Amino acid sequence: MLNLILFREKLRAFYARHGNVIIPVLHFAVALLALVLLNNGMGYERRLRAPIVVILLSLVSAFLPWGGICVLLGICVLLNIFAVSAEFALITLAFLLVVALLYYGFSPRDSIILILTPVLFELKIPYVLPILVGLGGSAFSLIPLSGGIVLSYILNYVHNNAAPLTNGESVDVAQKYLQMLNGVLLDKTMLLYLFAFSLSLLVVWCVHRLSVNNAWDLGILAGILTMLFVFFLGNFWYGVGVNIVPLLLGLVLAGLLAELYRFLVFSVDYTRTEYSQFEDDDYYYYVKAVPKITVAAPSPKRRQSTRRSARNEARTKARRRGRPCSCSFRI
């Protein structure tokens, strides 16, 4: 356990020293992954499929904040959908504008959630999202998470219905819009994921904020059980097919990653919890203080000085006894 804590402190120190390099590299990697997955899943806009364009857009993203990367990737999504259907691109644009208004009004810090949600859905591991977002976000993080889920199913709908959307000129415009909206908004699987992820996020967020021992662990467990219950409920009562094996594996992975995140950002020692009580003119205060688990890694200079002091102390003792010191220390 001590070695893990020392490794965590070294990681924190490394990030503190090299954060100016790590953050642009992370932005570049996330943007590159998102563009590659977008081109593999859709790729209807040929100009965006060129490798040089993908690299250039990723390099630009390295120097943008997460909100700017969202805008850039949103434009790429709209261009791909426009190559299939201008009407559906208009619907997607309206949806993205609504999400942007809600997002910037309530939760402007969670741009990365809107990016990672379609990416993790494409990678078939979306179950880590509500647990990690519940631990590291807020209740308003529901907005980018829900928006990312709907966007994932919009992209899936376009991919599965590219031919009908492209060859639907003979269909009435109003009927065409109605078919598109029904195809996305009335998707039972999407609604199930929306409900399961939203409820799990809220449960994790509420439980991990409780003033009880191991609140984060309890929140992780409660969020996983909530998702499992909702998916089983949707499967048995509403006939929404969910693959059980990927679901269970995804929940196990979500629990492991959540515990890793807890260890990195919230590692405390509940055995040394202290309680305090005081008052002022207006309030009584009941304080619970839980110390963090921190260990300072010994530096090479400290080790060297410790060995030198031990050698000097041994020489002093030898002189007092009246005989030369026979001890040898290596530095």
**309 and 261 fall within a common domain:** no
Q: State the Cα–Cα distance between residues 77 and 45, nearest whole angstrom.
A: 9
Return d(Cα 265, Cα 292) in angstroms, integer: 10
Domain's final residue, options 247, 266, 285: 266
Q: Which domain holds residue 304?
A: 299-331
**pLDDT digits over 142-171, tens only?**
999 999 999 999 999 888 887 777 765 555
The residue ranking higher by pLDDT, 50 or 316, is: 50
216 with 315, same domain?
A: no
Interatomic CA distance for residues 129 and 136, integer angstroms:
10
Is the pLDDT score of 296 beyond 80? no
Same-domain status, 217 and 307: no
Q: Quick: pLDDT tens for 125-140.
A: 999 999 999 999 888 8
Residue 219 lies in a domain: yes
Q: Does residue 133 form part of some domain? A: yes
Evaluate whether residue 277 is within a structural domain: no
> Of 222, 251, 266, which closes a domain?
266
pLDDT tens digits, 44-97: 888 888 999 999 999 999 999 998 999 999 999 999 999 888 888 898 999 999
Lowest-pLDDT choice from 110-114, 254-258, 284-288, 325-329: 325-329
Number of domains in the chain: 2
Q: Contact at 8 Å (CB) between 272 and 291?
A: yes
Residue 194 counted as domain residue: yes
Residues 112 and 257 in one domain: yes
Residue 258 CB: number of other CB atoms within 10 A? 26
Contact criterion met (CB below 8 Å) for 89 and 78: yes
Question: Whose CA is closest to 41, among 195, 138, 153?
Answer: 153
- 255 and 112 fall within a common domain: yes
Instruction: Report if residue 93 sits inside a domain.
Output: no
Instruction: For residue 233, tell me if it sits in a domain.
Output: yes
- 250 and 206 part of one domain: yes
Quick one: pLDDT band at residue 298, thresholds 50, 70, 90?
low
Q: Could you tell me if 135 and 232 lie in one domain?
A: yes
Do 309 and 236 lie in one domain? The reply is no
Q: What is the pLDDT of residues 203-245, one digit of tens each?
A: 999 999 998 889 999 999 999 999 999 999 988 887 777 788 8
Question: Does 97 map to a domain?
Answer: no
Give me the mean pLDDT over the 178-195 stretch.
84
SS (H, E, C) 45-99: CHHHHCHHHHHHHHHHHHCCCHHHHHHHHHHHHHHHHHCCCHHHHHHHHHHHHHH
Helix intervals (H) in the chain:
2-41, 46-49, 51-62, 66-82, 86-106, 111-122, 128-136, 142-160, 162-166, 173-185, 188-208, 215-237, 244-265, 300-321
Please state, as a whole number, how many other Cβ atoms lie within 10 Å of the Cβ of residue 203: 21
